[in-house]
Amino acid sequence: MSVLDGAIANIALPTIARELRTDPANAVWVVNAYQLAVTISLLPFASLGELRGYRRVFVAGLALFTLGSLACALSGSLTTLVISRILQGFGGAGIMSVNTALLRFIYPADQLGRGVGINALVGSISAAIGPSVAARILSIASWQWLFAINVPLGVVALVFASRELPRTPLARHRFAHTVNLSTALGRTTGYLVDDLTTGDRRRLTTAPDGTQTETLMGTDGSRKTTFPDGTIANLIEGPDRRFLVAAL
């Protein structure tokens, strides 16, 4: 579920932006918030699993992911949805950070490779079918069901995980606060700089009469504006200040 949710929201962004009455450019944060939360917390949660037990981190992550999914389904504004996606992302990171480590205590040593392969296969299939699953759900239900469907699945998984997952031996070293904090900050900075300096930005403006003007803003400072009558205007500006942010 955690891998699937990383891709399932992409196809719903236009629908979410329209129903929440927000700019499509801002709606991208529905995806970014989840990915950023996962990125910065994977290694700290993996380290925490060694100290507190992989089972405990997995179950806590699953519970947080399920709670975050419920919050996403009940969100009535973009701000609430983004915050809920961050919560969901931290839960997803708790699941993904220790699931492979748990396999060492589930499969016998001579079948560990098989277990890792099955785990990788499930993750790959989930990432690949995400857009198709989202399209199917959106064809019969509202975008809220993209997240609400995780709630019953999460509850069932939580019951089985609590009963069946083995307890694992704990490491004796201390939690590396400095290392994990610097890793999280580094990943956050890298993610934001990459988001600011790569890819074009598309902005759709709707006038009171219903006509729409589309502006495509390139990373080189260029702007291509398509007006309602089909006229296209190209504008080349000075250096984009986003490159200054990346340089800093």
Residue range 2-39, pLDDT digits in tens: 778 777 888 888 889 889 988 888 888 898 899 889 88
pLDDT band at 218 (very low <50, low <70, confident <90, very high): very low
Radius of gyration from C-alpha coordinates of the chain = 21
3-class secondary structure, 53: coil
pLDDT computed for residue 14 by the predictor:
87
3-class secondary structure, 63: helix
- Sole residue written with tokens 């200040």: 241
Residue 198: pLDDT over 70: no
Section 31-54 average pLDDT: 88
- In DSSP notation, 88-125 reads HHHHHHHHHHHHHHHHHHHS-GGGHHHHHHHHHHHHHH
Q: Answer for the pair 87, 100: CB distance below 8 angstroms, yes or no.
A: no
Q: What percent of the chain has pLDDT over 70?
A: 69
pLDDT computed for residue 40 by the predictor:
87
The architecture (CATH level 2) of 4-197 comes to Up-down Bundle (1.20)
Residues 6+ apart with CB under 8 A from 132: none
The domain spans of the chain are: 4-197, 201-247
pLDDT computed for residue 39 by the predictor:
86
Q: Which pLDDT tens digit goes with each residue over 75-107?
A: 999 999 999 999 999 999 999 889 888 898 888
Measured CA to CA, the distance from residue 106 to residue 163 in angstroms comes to 13
Residue 168: pLDDT over 60: yes
Section 140-145 average pLDDT: 91
Helix (H) or strand (E) holding 33: helix 29-52
* Averaged confidence pLDDT in the chain: 76
Q: How is residue 224 written in tokens?
A: 């291509």
Return the higher-pLDDT residue of 222 and 145. Answer: 145
Residue 163: pLDDT over 70: yes
Question: Torsions phi, psi of 226, nearest 5?
Answer: -110, 115
Return the higher-pLDDT residue of 7 and 154. Answer: 154
What pTM value is reported for the model?
Answer: 0.70
pLDDT computed for residue 189 by the predictor:
55
Query: Residue 94: is it exposed, middle or buried by C-beta count within 10 angstroms (0-12/13-18/19+)?
Result: buried
3-class secondary structure, 140: helix
User: CA angle 84-87-90, nearest 5°?
Assistant: 150
Return the higher-pLDDT residue of 121 and 218. Answer: 121
